[in-house]
Amino acid sequence: MSRIKHTSPFILSCLLSGVTGITFAQESNQITVDTATATPPYELPVVPPSSAEKNSFYYTIPRWVDATPTILPEQSNDPIVPSTTDTEHLTWFDQRQKKIRLWADKTAHKINNWFGEPSPEDPASATLRVLVDSRWDKYNDYEVKPRIRGKIDLPTLEKKLSVVFGDDSLDNELQNNVAITNENPANAEDKTVDGKRSREDNSSLALRWSNFAERLPFQTDADLGVRSGDDIYVRLKASKDWTLENDFSFHAEQIYRYGIDSENYLRTNLELIHARPDHAFLSNQFSLTYADAQEDDLRWDNYTFRQHQFFAGNRFNYGVYTGGYYHDDDLRLNSWGPFVSWRQPFLREWFFIQGDVNYLNDDREDRNHYLGALVRLEAIF
């Protein structure tokens, strides 16, 4: 039934702290201000970091990155494609995009009207993502997977309830997930497109209650719905952001889902970022997954990378991936290697292309490093 009781808390602690290399700074240099004598605008004095702080993780890593020479262009947010407003009548594809977008918003308005009197200043809205992911490597050949994910916001319900539908595994990833990933690979090895699996994965439908516990010190979501045809489930998510010193920030989220058929699913996502205005940022994204449906007790994935933006909607990432598993008291690094990713709008503001190339091994399958390529086509409505 469930294997959670076999998972060692010590192993969990090692994975969450050791793999990512994240350490939190201790509070220091507390400053007190006499508000009775302070004059406007009551600015706090800036205390420069001590020599010990300058040698800490938060200062050493950025120094190493800054010392690395680069030939890449500067950061930019200038658009390279026309806006959706300027192109929505130009071609048949633009007209279809507008028609679907208006249909989605109209559907949102209808559902919103069921629950109360709508406000003209705060209308209902809907977002829809349509994706086609393609994957190739010499061992697994070629696989294509269509995916959709949508959300309908219902402001008449105090902006807390929404309807979500489509491939719910996309919501298990970090919002700015660096790589093209797929928790649900195809079942049919002899098919390029596993139609049955795609239909099951895209059939999720749920009612989401956001921030249901306002007194808690983190953001919350609770979903009640059905997935994969007949798997009735409940899903809880909690997330929080911390601002650390020297332009570092930390994001953590915990997801738990229980389904009648799929049973327990537990995932932890962590991200540590060093980001300065108008600079490429450095990030480490780590995930740890437990699921009754998976073979291993635990699986972990870690991406350490740098991200550039050369124009609006662009992402250029390069870094190192490591991944492994914990099973029957055996903790293994199963796969590692470099990866490169590029994402940009193509011809239109609402259409994106992403390409990933990696060079990874697979210790469990006794495979040395080999090339893999992934391409994602994404339309946003």
Residue 156 lies in a domain: yes
E strand residue ranges, the chain: 125-137, 141-153, 161-166, 205-210, 219-227, 231-243, 248-259, 263-274, 281-291, 298-308, 315-327, 330-345, 351-362, 367-380
The CA distance from 39 to 378, in Å, is 54
Residue 60 located in a structural domain: no
- Whether 23 shows a pLDDT value over 60: the answer reads no
Judged against a pLDDT cut of 60, whether residue 52 lies above it is answered with no
- Indicate whether 33 pLDDT > 50: no
Note the pLDDT tens digit of each residue in 204-218: 999 999 888 778 889
Convert the pLDDT of each residue in 283-320 to its tens digit.
999 999 999 988 899 999 999 999 999 999 999 999 99
For 196-225, the DSSP string reads HHHHHHTT-EEEEEES--TTSSSEEEEEEE
| Predicted confidence band of residue 50 (pLDDT cuts 50, 70, 90) | low
Q: At 205, which CATH number? A: 2.40.160.40
Instruction: Name the residue among 50, 320, 71, 345 with its Cα closest to residue 179.
Output: 320
pLDDT given at position 187: 67
Report yes or no on 53 lying in a domain: no
Say which amino acid occupies 21: G
pLDDT band at 229, cuts 50/70/90? confident
Higher pLDDT among residues 3 and 152, named by residue? 152
Q: CA-CA-CA-CA torsion for 132, 137, 139, 143, nearest 10 degrees?
A: 10
3-state secondary structure 344-364: EECCCCCEEEEEEEEEEEECC
Query: What is the C-alpha separation between 130 and 324, in angstroms, rounded?
Result: 30
With 70 as the cut, is the pLDDT of residue 155 above it?
yes
> What's the chain's average pLDDT?
85
Strand partners, 290: 266
2 lies in a domain? no
39 domain-assigned? no
How much of the chain, in percent, has pLDDT values that exceed 90? Answer: 60
Q: Is residue 268 part of a domain?
A: yes
pLDDT at 9: 40
Model confidence at 338, pLDDT cuts 50, 70, 90, reads: very high
| Residue 291 covered by a domain | yes
The contacts of residue 231 (CB under 8 Å, 6+ apart) are 259, 260, 261, 262
Q: Is residue 249 in a domain?
A: yes
Number of domains in the chain: 1
Structural domain including 230 reads 77-380
Maximum mean pLDDT: which of 55-69, 187-201, 263-277: 263-277
Computed on alpha carbons and rounded to an integer, the radius of gyration of the chain in Å comes to 23
